Amino acid sequence: MATSIQNATFLFHNYSLGERTDKEQSVVLNRYFNHALTVILPGASVIPHPVLECFSDQLAYRLHRLPLYRLIEIPFIQAFVKKGAVHMMSVNTKLDTSDCVAVTPSGCLLLHLTKDTYEQLGLEARKQTYHEKISDIYVVQINLLADHFRPGKKGYDRVLWCLKDRLDLAFNFLVAWEPHDDKVCSSSLGVYFAEKCPRVERVAQEKTSRVFTSLPCPKIDAVQPEGSEDGCHYQEVFEWLGAVACGIDITSEDTGPDSYTSTLACPDPKYNCPRGCVFQVSGFITPQTVLKVWKTLREYTACHPRKLADQPDCAWVCRQPRHSQAGCTQFLCLWR
Amino acid sequence: MVDADVKTKCFISEKKQPYLYMKVSLTIDGEDVGQLTPVQYKYLIMQALKETLGQIGASYTVDLLKLSSNGVALLRLPRGYSDKLWAALTMYGATPAKRRCAFRVLQVSPFLMGLVVDSRWQQ
């Protein structure tokens, strides 16, 4: 665990907002399971209302002890997997020590299995990667959208038999559904599963916001992100963002280069930001919602160019699926 | 705001990050850890390092970034020594006043941003 944590790479893309919109969209949309989203807005005293509205129609459910074979039933595939993006992931299952299951928006059922379960289950796994090999993990990938995946075909019957009769696997799931058709309500997924598992409950989003005043902010030089006289290094800015998001007080006299308790300080060059706010949502957030927030914040920055001319507007999105590399899978977007 | 001077660049950092951030919880037998000040908390951390690693261990810079009222703290450790410091913290068993105590590591991350939330929240 320690080794993988220490070998974390920081990847930083620097580009103008006028280009590469497809690239940033794909970055967001390829991260299917988001747990929390934090928006840091130096210079703003309240979170913009359009940002809050982005979360109003996001519904997520928690399913208790859902048998796995329910996920390959034809009514589920026809009604939900083919007609929308299903984000589904098992909870209370640790990736390195127990079995995990996920259904991705691309219509793929992923079974991330330990050696014991894999050998009892009898389904073929894909080729192991190096890390999977050393930790004895097997990944079974089933394409739910394939034409040949239907009753009467050998492959389908085999999968159904393995999941239903051979090993009666059941998991707790978090699920959210984004239908392709806007007229369809995403709550129909919760209604569908109400009859299939013992209990279905809605996952409430926890929203917190915090206001800070008189905070030292690092200056950002978009032309030279690796640090210059006019701007800080991007990794120092990232650490500062983390400190603000964690609520660490870097202004008090107890912190600084000569302090006994902490030497963390705002990197130089810096300026004093009179006010700002930190907004955090946690729950089960779909990439479409993240993208909505992303676009709203871009519009917001474009609407207030004067106010934000020398103040960085920052937003970051954390994605931490249960994984041994805790805290390594996250991404950040920083606007200037 | 579109900045015309910004050119598309991609930076990849080294695999080894300079620090390891850690969320730890301290419990002391028969004592309310919420009463501890940051200086007292840091003193206990330094005692833990000194007990296992000696004077050299106590010379490493461990930053106490934040202390919550329930005895949970955010620490910043230099990456090169993080394994030793981690071990020293978890092996510490008694305070200077001979009370039994324990540091429990709750979460670790190479980035401070990783400790903002814990996704293993669905109990």
Assembly ipTM: 0.87
pLDDT at position A336: 46
Is B56 a member of any domain?
yes
The share of chain A scoring above pLDDT 70, in percent, equals 82
For residue A48, cis peptide bond before it (omega within 30 degrees of 0): no
Is A215 or B45 the better-scoring residue by pLDDT? B45
The span from the CA of A237 to the CA of B100, in Å, is 40
The C-alpha torsion from A37 through A42 and A45 to A49, rounded to 10°, is -40
Selected residue with higher pLDDT from A72 and A271: A72
Is residue B57 in some structural domain? yes
| Within-domain flag for B69 | yes
Question: Is B53 part of any domain?
Answer: yes
Compute the Cα dihedral for A226, A231, A235, A236 and give only its sign: positive
What's the pLDDT score for residue A6? 58
Nearest to A35 among B6, B66, B119 (CB): B119
Query: Which chain B residue lies closest to A203 (C-alpha atoms)?
Result: B122
- Structural domains in chain B (count): 1
Q: What are phi and psi of A198, to 5 degrees?
A: -60, -40
Q: Which residue of B has its CA nearest to A301?
A: B1
Q: How far apart are CA A309 and CA A289, in angstroms?
A: 27
Q: Is residue B120 part of a domain?
A: no
- Ramachandran category for residue A65: left, alpha or beta (phi over 0 → left; psi -120 to 50 → alpha): left
AA identity, residue A226: E
B122, amino acid identity = Q
pLDDT at residue A103 greater than cutoff 70: yes
Question: pLDDT tens, A200-215?
Answer: 998 888 888 888 888 8
More confident residue, B5 or B25: B25
Across chain B, what does the average pLDDT equal?
85
Segment 57-96 of chain B within 8 Å of chain A by CB: 61, 63-66, 74, 76, 79, 82-83, 86
Average pLDDT score over chain A: 78
Q: Which amino acid is at B93?
A: G
A14:B11 CB<8 A: yes
Cβ-in-10-Å burial (0-12, 13-18, 19+) of B14 comes to exposed
Q: Looking at the complex, does the CB of residue A58 fall below 8 Å from at least one CB of chain B?
A: no
CA-CA distance, A84 to A186, in Å (whole number)? 9
Characterize A323-335 residue by residue with b for buried, 16 or more Cβ atoms within 10 angstroms of its Cβ, and e for exposed.
Answer: bbbbbbbbbbbbb
Stretch A147-166: mean pLDDT, rounded?
A: 89
**Within a domain: B34:** yes
Compare A20 and A60 and report the one with higher pLDDT.
A60
pLDDT value of position B104: 92
Q: What 3-state DSSP class applies to B48? A: helix
Q: Which DSSP helix (H) or strand (E) runs through B108?
A: strand B101-109
Q: Please report residues of B whose CB lies closer than 8 A to that of A308.
A: 1
Per-residue pLDDT tens digits for A244-295: 888 888 776 666 667 788 888 888 888 888 888 888 888 888 888 888 888 8
Q: Are A289 and A55 in contact (CB under 8 A)?
A: yes
The answer to whether residue B118 is domain-embedded is no
Going B43 to B48 to B54 to B58, the CA torsion angle's sign is: negative
Nearest Cα neighbor of A27 from B10, B13, B116, B15 is: B10
B114 touches chain A (CB under 8 A): yes
Q: Give which of A55, A85, A334, A46 is closest to A207, Cα–Cα.
A: A55
Q: What average pLDDT does range A126-141 have in this prediction? A: 85
| A303 — pLDDT class (breaks 50, 70, 90) | very low
- Using CB atoms within 10 Å of the CB of residue A213, give its burial: 0 to 12 exposed, 13 to 18 middle, 19+ buried: exposed
pLDDT digits (tens, 9 = 90+) for B94-115: 988 889 999 999 888 888 888 8
Give the B window 14-33 contacts with A, CB below 8 Å: 14-17, 20-21
Say which residue, A17 or A65, is predicted with more confidence: A65
Pairing of strands B19-28, B9-12: unpaired
Give the list of residues 6+ apart from residue A247 with CB closer than 8 angstroms, or none.
A210, A278, B66
Q: Which helix (H) or strand (E) holds B57?
A: helix B38-58
Which CATH number does the domain housing residue B71 bear? 3.30.70.3250
**Residue A327 pLDDT exceeds 50:** no
Contact A108, A142 (CB under 8 A): yes
Judge whether B123 is closer than 8 Å to chain A, CB to CB: yes
Using a pLDDT cut of 90, give the percent of chain A over it.
Answer: 4
Domain that holds residue B50: 19-107
Q: With a cut of 80, say whether residue A176 has pLDDT above it.
A: yes
| pTM for the model | 0.81
Residue A137, classified by CB atoms within 10 Å of its CB into exposed (0-12), middle (13-18) or buried (19+), is buried
Q: Would you place residue A128 in the very low, low, confident or very high pLDDT band (cuts 50, 70, 90)?
A: confident
**B98 Cβ under 8 Å from any chain A Cβ:** no
Confidence at residue A309, expressed as pLDDT on a 0 to 100 scale: 24
- Cα separation, A235 vs A216, in Å, equals 17
- Domain assignment present for B6: no
The model's pLDDT over A214-253, given as tens digits with 9 standing for 90+, comes to 888 888 777 777 777 777 788 888 888 888 888 888 776 6
Mean of the pLDDT values across residues A298-324?
Answer: 35
Exposure class string for A6-21: b at 16+ Cβ within 10 A, else e: bebebebebbebeeee
Look at A50 and B25; give whichever has higher pLDDT.
Answer: B25
pLDDT tens-digit series, residues B46-73: 999 999 999 888 888 898 988 988 889 9
